[in-house]
């Protein structure tokens, strides 16, 4: 009994000691949460859906996957305190996935982040990070001097990745990446997160890809990018480069049917369609997305929407 009390006391002391650094997430728990922050594919800002981003939160620690435009604000809407961002993973360097990479770190720091952040992704992530801080040196130095903030540079540890394999592991998750097929962008990755209570795979952008089927084997949740091919003509009709844009989308993305095929081949429990292309066509309903994926996948299918927790 005495032993237990001492352990409880110690645990309590540790929590109190770390409290000033990391503000608690509302309803914080050890359950691993997945929140879709942005579910639209493509860089054009839209009312209907924000650009690609997800967050996994466990044990009051946030792991952000992709940083499309608006990711910091979407985290605020999701009630995830910016200072608990601990790891950032980029699937690839397309602007709908990385436009706010630097902004997320910078704005989190201005929101009180004062702890280490590790970032993971394809080259030239290191150069991009350095240049971002250089570009914003005036603001950063002013705030360090005038507001007494810790220097931001030393907090950020960049890890460039070019190959499939193990990424990192900590007390909450084990992260694995695989190369996916997203020409002409190379390398492009999918990430798998294995926590004690569930496994989550984020496909990034890819055309149908065998590596992804292997990575996602028996995962609890597969978040897969998806396009609704019959609506592509309406989408590209809005731009002058319609023909080349359509050919490009078809060549490097996965249809909703194929996302269903991949989910079935990987025997995942739940398929989430996200990075939707088109992202804001009112004629394409959730049921229409589901019907296409349902042709091949027999488990639960969720059509992603911003701020949905899964
Ligand atoms: Zn892409």
Alpha-helical (H) ranges within 100-198 are: 101-110, 125-135, 137-147
Could you read off the pLDDT of 168-220 as tens digits, one per residue? 999 999 999 999 999 999 999 999 999 999 999 999 999 999 999 999 999 99
Question: 223 C-alpha vs ligand 1 centroid, how far in Å?
Answer: 15
User: Is residue 129 pLDDT above 50, yes or no?
Assistant: yes
The candidate with the shortest Cα–Cα distance to 94, out of 127, 119, 66, is 66
Under the banding of pLDDT at 50, 70 and 90, the label for residue 248 is confident
Distance 204 CA to ligand 1 centre (A): 7
Q: How far is the CA of 247 from the centre of ligand 1 (A)?
A: 14
The C-alpha atoms of residue 223 and residue 53 are separated, in whole angstroms, by 11
CA of 93 to the centre of ligand 1 (A): 7
Dihedral of the alpha carbons of 142, 145, 149, 154, in degrees to the nearest 10: 80
pLDDT value of position 15: 39
Cα 180–chain centre separation: 15
The Å distance, Cα 249 to ligand 1 centre, comes to 9
Mean per-residue pLDDT, 145-172: 96
Residue 152: partners with Cβ closer than 8 Å, 6 or more residues away: 105, 106, 109, 133, 140, 144
**Ligand 1: centre distance to CA 21 (Å):** 35
Q: 98: closest CA among 139, 59, 128, 58?
A: 128
Distance CA 142, CA 149 (A): 10
Q: Are 306 and 50 in contact (CB under 8 A)?
A: yes
- Could you tell me which residue, 281 or 30, shows the higher pLDDT? 281
Q: What is the pLDDT of residue 16?
A: 38
Residues contacting 223, CB < 8 A, separation 6+: 34, 36, 54, 200, 201, 202, 203, 272, 274, 304
Express each pLDDT in 93-124 by its tens digit.
999 999 999 999 999 999 999 999 999 999 99
- Tokens describing residue 16: 């109190």
For helices 137-147 and 101-110, give the axis angle rounded to 10 degrees: 10
Question: Ligand 1 centroid vs 7 CA: distance in angstroms?
Answer: 48
Nearest to 153 by CA among 162, 144, 161: 144
Cα(41) to ligand 1 centroid in Å equals 8
Give the pLDDT confidence score for residue 234 in this predicted structure.
Answer: 81
Residues in the chain, total: 310
> Could you tell me the distance, in angstroms and rounded to a whole number, from the CA of residue 85 to the centre of ligand 1?
23
Write out pLDDT tens, residues 66-93: 999 999 999 999 999 999 999 999 999 9
Distance between Cα 18 and ligand 1 center (Å): 38
3 CA distance to ligand 1 middle (Å): 54
Q: Which two tokens stand for residue 168?
A: 């990192």
Q: Give the up-direction half-sphere exposure of residue 128: CA atoms within 13 A in the CB hemisphere.
A: 22
pLDDT at 270 > cutoff 50: yes
Cα of 98 vs centre of ligand 1, distance in Å, is: 10
Backbone angles phi, psi at 189, to 5 degrees: -120, 155
Read off the pLDDT of residues 8-62 as tens digits, 9 standing for 90 and up: 444 443 333 333 445 555 545 569 999 999 999 999 999 999 999 999 999 999 9
pLDDT value at residue 30:
65
Cα–Cα dist 94/194, whole Å: 26
């Amino acid at each position: 009994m005495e032993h237990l009390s001492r352990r409880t006391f110690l645990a309590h002391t540790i929590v109190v000691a770390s409290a000033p650094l990391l503000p608690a997430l509302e309803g914080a728990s050890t359950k691993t949460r997945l929140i879709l922050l942005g579910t639209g594919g493509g860089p054009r800002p839209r009312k209907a859906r924000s650009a690609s981003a997800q967050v996994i939160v466990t044990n009051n620690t946030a792991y952000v996957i992709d940083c499309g435009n608006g990711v910091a604000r979407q985290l605020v809407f999701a009630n995830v305190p910016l200072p608990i961002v601990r790891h950032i993973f980029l699937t690839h360097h397309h602007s709908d996935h990385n436009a706010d990479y630097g902004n997320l770190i910078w704005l989190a720091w201005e929101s009180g982040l004062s702890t280490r952040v590790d970032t993971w992704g394809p080259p030239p992530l290191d150069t991009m990070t350095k240049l971002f801080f250089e570009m914003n040196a005036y603001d950063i130095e002013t705030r360090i001097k005038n507001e007494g903030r810790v220097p931001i540079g030393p907090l950020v540890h960049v890890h460039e990745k070019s190959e499939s394999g193990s990424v990192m592991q900590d007390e909450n998750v084990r992260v694995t990446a695989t190369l996916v097929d997203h020409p002409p962008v190379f390398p492009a990755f999918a990430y798998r997160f294995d926590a004690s209570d569930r496994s989550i795979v984020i496909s990034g952008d890819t055309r149908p890809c065998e590596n992804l089927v292997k990575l996602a084997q028996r995962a609890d949740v597969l978040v897969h990018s998806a396009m609704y091919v019959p609506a592509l003509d309406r989408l590209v009709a809005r731009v002058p480069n319609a023909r080349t844009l359509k050919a490009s989308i078809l060549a490097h993305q996965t249809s909703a049917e194929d996302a269903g095929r991949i989910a079935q081949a990987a025997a995942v429990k739940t398929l989430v369609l996200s990075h939707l292309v088109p992202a804001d066509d009112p004629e394409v309903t959730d049921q229409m997305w589901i019907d296409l994926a349902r042709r091949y996948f027999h488990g639960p299918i969720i059509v992603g929407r911003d701020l949905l927790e899964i």
